[in-house]
Amino acid sequence: MGHSEMLLAVAGLTQEEIDRRAQQLADGEWSEFSPAERLAFQFARKLTTEPWGVTHTDVEALVEVFGKHRALDLVWHVAWGNYMTRVADAFQLPLETTNVFAR
């Protein structure tokens, strides 16, 4: 979750908040998040772990909650993140040790 943590830092979260959020996301403990966020997390997990299982109904649910453009952004960003992770894993690239997004 290195890049996610970096983006949370750029969004202004403290290290304590980042650690807590990262742990919640990793554990699947999403009860404190809004229904829309939980839907996005569920979709992201499904696209990540069983992409063949994503259905038209899954995408329709995103469109209903987020609208067409934000749903497209969500699908694209999750797919891109999975792509980058697989490329980095294949080449055994380490995560950056510093926040490359910080100013």
Percentage of residues in the chain having pLDDT higher than 70: 93
Q: Is residue 31 part of a domain?
A: yes
Number of Cβ within a 10 Å radius of residue 54: 14
pTM: 0.81
Q: 73: helix, coil or strand?
A: helix
Q: State the residue range of the domain holding 59.
A: 2-90
Give the 3-state secondary structure of residue 100. Answer: coil
- Structural domain includes residue 40: yes
Structural domain includes residue 97: no
Q: Domain tally for the chain?
A: 1
- Residue 87's contacts (CB-CB under 8 Å, 6 or more residues apart) are 93
pLDDT digit string, tens, across residues 15-47: 899 899 989 988 888 999 999 999 999 999 999
Name the pLDDT band for 102 (thresholds 50, 70, 90).
low
Q: Confirm if 50 and 34 have CB atoms less than 8 A apart.
A: no
Res 2 pLDDT > 70: no
| Residue 18 resides in a domain | yes
